[in-house]
Amino acid sequence: MKLPLKRLHTTAVTEARLDRTVQQLTGLSRAGVRGLLDHGCVSINGALSSAPQATVNPGDAVSVQYDPHRRYKETPKPEPDPAYKILFEDDHLIVVDKSAHILTVPTASGKGKTLVDALERHINRGKPASLWKRLHVVHRLDQGVSGVLVIAKSASVASKLKDQFAAHKPNRAYIAIVNGKMERDRGTFRSHLATDYSLNRYSTRKPGHGELAITHFEVMSHSRDTTAVRVELETGRRNQIRVHFAEAGHPVLGDPRYPRQLREADPATAVTSSHPKWRAKRLALHAASLEFTHPASGKTMRFEADLPTEFHPFVR
């Protein structure tokens, strides 16, 4: 005779992680709890959840349905992908520390591995291609730039996060190593950025043209001929940091697109993005932190990505 499935329910009183709530409810080991999550035995407010670190808020109803006579083995996890490191994941979004050597999304040619491709393989592991869920891009980091990036698991979450970015609510901080010794310890670049036929960005004074771009900076340390700066964005225009520092006479090290201080600079005197001590095949630009409001819980979320090792000789 087939035994009935065991059904357990609880209503959360305090905020907690889902895996810890399920463990308290079932008395199973952590491995056993992960197995239940992987096999679709757990739901929050009626919706299946497989993310161990998903947040259970006060008042949420957590249900577990399983066969106590069966062993639920957790699904083997793939080897970590060097393209990214997951900083946080729940049923609504993923926050990662992106490698500098991968595109966020495909280019027009469609060639090359992308972060979105890698993350979609991660969230859909074990599922047939016809059932794959798609991710939704909220913002991007250029290839050559590393650091914190948030990607949504649904169009509605992406829309809410984009609204925050449009309202300049998320706090975004970058670390950059620029050529030359900056004279001001802090300041703000403000210009309107336009795009030329080669898709390069530049500041324009032509009335009615370009997008407003505002970049705040503060010097962290100087070396003999470079400067480490902390940068905060008030707007998030494409290539904004790279253009503003290049036009100020201090290109970001390793930048192949904006290598000189001014578009009309004398090649014989221009400061370039090349430096004998910067041998990394990437830009010296890193998205160090990101803070935003979680679209579902309303909770303030803050994430930081460790400074890449190639930056260490330049930052005191």
Q: Residues for the chain: how many in total?
A: 316
Q: Is 81 a catalytic residue?
A: no
Catalytic position from the list 97, 117, 142, 225 = 142
Q: What is the 3-state secondary structure (H, E, C) of the chain?
A: CCCCCEEEEEECCCCEEHHHHHHHHHCCCHHHHHHHHHCCCEEECCEECCCCCCEECCCCEEEEEECCCCCCCCCCCCCCCCCEEEEEECCCEEEEEECCCCECCCCCCCCCCEHHHHHHHHHCCCCCHHHCCCCEECCCCCCCCEEEEEEECCHHHHHHHHHHHHCCCCEEEEEEEEECCCCCCEEEEEEEEEECCCCCEEEECCCCCCEEEEEEEEEEEECCCEEEEEEEECCCCCCHHHHHHHHCCCCECCCCCCCECCCCCCCCCCCECCCCCCCCCCCCEEEEEEEEECCCCCCEEEEECCCCHHHHHHCC
Beta bridge partners of 233: 215
CA distance 135 to 109: 20
Spatial neighbors of 183 by CB under 8 A, at least 6 apart, are: none
Specify the residue for token string 């998903």.
54
* Positions marked active-site: 142
